[in-house]
């Protein structure tokens, strides 16, 4: 296997609403330039491009096609796209570099959630015969998962609120985050339910955003930056779609992916958890102890740019390698209802 590293990362500010188009071009152009400027690269230095986005979020078929204008793909480029969070686009790019067909890759994701009714639209991810006709929204489904854990004594509303408090406090040092601030757990617990057992603070906000990561192999990575974040392992798995047939308080796909890459010794774990109880679930599933800093960026709870949020976790984790504040980190991305599909990426400095 070739050594591949994250060498560049940039993100658009995570905001409730942008005035830009749903194809993300306005969010992407500045961050492409930012990452090229930082690395001293131009578009012709990129061997493979891969993006993640959703037509349903954009309300347009082939919405990713307009996005490629942001690249300026003339002369033509080697480019692909996944209809999923860009963390999976990063996986495809990592594979491409492993084949030897490219030494560098640029991965991007974008989503303008403000353009539609996100929690309603997400119901369309569910079984089209027996579930989607009822329009079970993503918050309602997450609430079912949360209550299962509460009833089983695995977590409680206080622990969930504590996750929210920590996430907002961490976000205070993240200039890209949408929600930051100092909250009191009791204050949060006194607030009304949004969709019991979930309160507003238990759920990720609606966010428009975009992100980009540059990958490079071996010597190329060393030429570009002083401290590449070397990907020592990246894997993903998916669980059953039948919400009534799997234990929603567990995440075998996350555990499976983590086991495939080996996560012992990570100091930082950026977890993509748009609901507070999901952080508690994953910490338990992955056996992450008190010695691991969990999602120090504030995470999806502080800003959740759909289809870029998983990529942002990878970028944020890699940043700790780049600035020397950690030697071994983990990033997690999720897709589908109630943590159905999960990706784990471990990176190291050397």
Partner 1 sequence: MTSVQPLSAPIELTFDYTRSLGPTLSRFMTGLRDRTVTGVRVSDGRVVVPPVEYDPVTGAAVSEFVRVADEGEIVSWSWAAEPLDGQPLARPFAWVLVRLDGADTTMLHALDVPSPDAVRTGQRVRARWADEPGGSIRDIVCFEPADTPQRPPAAKAPTVADVVSMVTTPIELSVEHTASPQEMTYLRGLEQGRIIAQRCPVCRKVYVPPRGACPVDGVPTDEDVELPDKGIVTTFCIVNVPFPGQKIPPPYVAAYVLLDGADIAFLHLVFDTKAEDVRMGMRVEAKWRPREEWGPTLQNIEYFRPTGEPDADYDSFKEHL
Partner 2 sequence: MSKNRAAVLGTGQTHHRAKRTDVSMAGLLREAIDRAMIDAQVGWDDIDAVVVGKAPDFFEGVMMPELFLADAIGAVGKPLLRVHTAGSVGGSTAIVAASLVQAGVHQRVLAVAWEKQSESNAMWALSIPIPFNMPVNAGAGGYFAPHVRSYIRRSGAPNHIGALVAVKDRRNGAKNPYAHLQQADITFESVQNSMMLWDPIRYDETCPSSDGACAVVIGNEQAAAAVANPAWIHATAMRSEPTTYAGRDQVSPQASREAAAALWKQAGITNPLEQIDAAEIYVPFSWFEPMWLETLGFVPEGEGWKLTEAGETAIGGKLPVNASGGVLSSNPIGASGMLRFAEAAMQVMGRAGDHQVDGARTALGHAYGGGSQFFSMWVVGAEKPE
- SS3 label, residue 126: coil
Partner whose footprint covers residue 185, from partner 2, partner 1, none (CB < 5 to 8 Å by kind): none
Residue identified by tokens 């996350």 is 254
Size of residue set near partner 1 by CB under 8 A: 65
73 near partner 2, rule: CB under 8 A: yes
Q: How far apart are CA 179 and CA 200, in angstroms?
A: 12
In the complex, least distance from residue 129 CB atom to partner 1, rounded to whole angstroms: 5
C-alpha atoms less than 13 angstroms from C-alpha of 298 in its C-beta half-sphere? 23
In the complex, least distance from residue 137 CB atom to partner 2, rounded to whole angstroms: 13
- What residues from 82 to 141 belong to the interface with partner 2 (CB under 8 A)? 82-84, 88, 91-92, 95-96, 98-101, 121-122, 124-129, 132
- What residues from 208 to 267 belong to the interface with partner 1 (CB under 8 A)? 240, 242-245, 248
The angle formed by the CA atoms of residues 68, 70 and 86, to the nearest 5 degrees, is 60
Position among 22, 167, 272, 276 found at the interface with partner 1 (CB under 8 A)? 22
Instruction: Using DSSP bridges, classify how beta strands 328-335 and 268-270 pair: parallel, antiparallel or unpaired.
Output: parallel
| Interface mask toward partner 1 for 66-105; x: CB under 8 A | x-xxxxxxx-------------------------------
60 near partner 1, rule: CB under 8 A: yes
37 near partner 1, rule: CB under 8 A: no
C-alpha atoms less than 13 angstroms from C-alpha of 208 in its C-beta half-sphere? 20
Residue identified by tokens 């188009």 is 21
Position among 256, 261, 262, 267 found at the interface with partner 2 (CB under 8 A)? 256
Position among 124, 172, 184, 191 found at the interface with partner 1 (CB under 8 A)? 124
Partner whose footprint covers residue 86, from partner 2, partner 1, none (CB < 5 to 8 Å by kind): none
Give the Å distances, CA to CA, from 135 to 57, 86, 122, 181, 286. Answer: 16, 26, 9, 33, 32
For partner 2, give the closer residue by CB, 130 or 200: 130
Q: Which DSSP string corresponds to 324-345?
A: TS-SEEEEEEEESTTS-EEEEE
In Å, how far from its chain's centre is CA 86?
8
For partner 2, give the closer residue by CB, 177 or 258: 258
Sign of the four-CA dihedral 336, 338, 342, 348 = positive
Q: Which two tokens stand for residue 128?
A: 């089209």
DSSP class of residue 257 equals H
**Nearest CA-CA partner of 229 in 347, 64, 77:** 347
56 near partner 2, rule: CB under 8 A: yes
Is residue 308 within 8 Å of residue 274, measured between CB atoms?
no
| Site residues, partner 1 (CB under 8 A) | 19-23, 25-26, 29, 32, 43, 56-60, 66, 68-74, 114-117, 119-121, 124, 127-137, 139-148, 151, 193-198, 240, 242-245, 248
| Site residues, partner 2 (CB under 8 A) | 1-2, 49, 54-56, 60-62, 64-66, 68-69, 73-84, 88, 91-92, 95-96, 98-101, 121-122, 124-129, 132, 235-242, 252-253, 256, 335-337, 340-341
């Amino acid at each position: 296997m070739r050594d591949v590293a994250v060498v560049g990362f940039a993100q658009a500010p995570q905001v409730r609403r942008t005035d830009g188009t749903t194809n993300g071009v306005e969010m992407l152009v500045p961050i492409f330039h930012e990452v090229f400027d930082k690395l001293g690269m131009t578009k012709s230095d990129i061997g493979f491009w891969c993006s993640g986005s959703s037509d349903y979020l954009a309300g347009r078929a082939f919405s990713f096609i307009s996005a490629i204008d942001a690249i300026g793909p003339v002369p033509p480029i080697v480019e692909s796209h996944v209809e999923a969070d860009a963390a999976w686009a990063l996986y495809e790019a990592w594979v491409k570099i492993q084949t030897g067909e490219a030494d560098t890759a640029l991965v991007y994701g974008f989503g303008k959630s403000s353009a539609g009714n996100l929690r309603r639209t997400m119901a369309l991810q569910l079984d089209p015969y027996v579930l989607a006709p009822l329009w079970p929204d993503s918050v309602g489904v997450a609430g079912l998962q949360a209550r299962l854990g509460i009833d089983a004594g695995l977590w409680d509303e206080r622990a969930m609120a504590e996750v929210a408090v920590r996430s907002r406090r961490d976000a205070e040092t993240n200039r890209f985050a949408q929600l930051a601030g100092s909250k009191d757990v009791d204050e949060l617990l006194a607030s009304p339910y949004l969709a019991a057992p979930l309160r507003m603070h238990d759920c990720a906000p609606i966010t428009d955003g975009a992100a980009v990561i540059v990958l490079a192999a071996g010597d190329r990575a060393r030429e570009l930056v002083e401290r590449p974040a070397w990907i020592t392992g990246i894997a993903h798995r998916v669980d059953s779609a039948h919400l009534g047939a799997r234990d929603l308080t567990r995440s075998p796909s996350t555990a499976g992916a983590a086991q495939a890459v080996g996560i012992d010794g990570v100091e930082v774990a950026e977890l993509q958890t748009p609901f507070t109880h999901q952080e508690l679930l994953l910490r338990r599933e992955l056996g992450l102890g008190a010695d691991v800093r969990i999602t120090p960026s504030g995470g999806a709870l502080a800003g959740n740019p759909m289809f870029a949020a998983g990529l942002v976790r990878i970028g944020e984790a890699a940043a700790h390698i780049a600035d020397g504040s950690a030697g071994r980190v983990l990033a997690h991305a999720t897709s589908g209802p109630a943590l159905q599909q999960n990706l784990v990426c471990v990176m190291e400095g050397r």
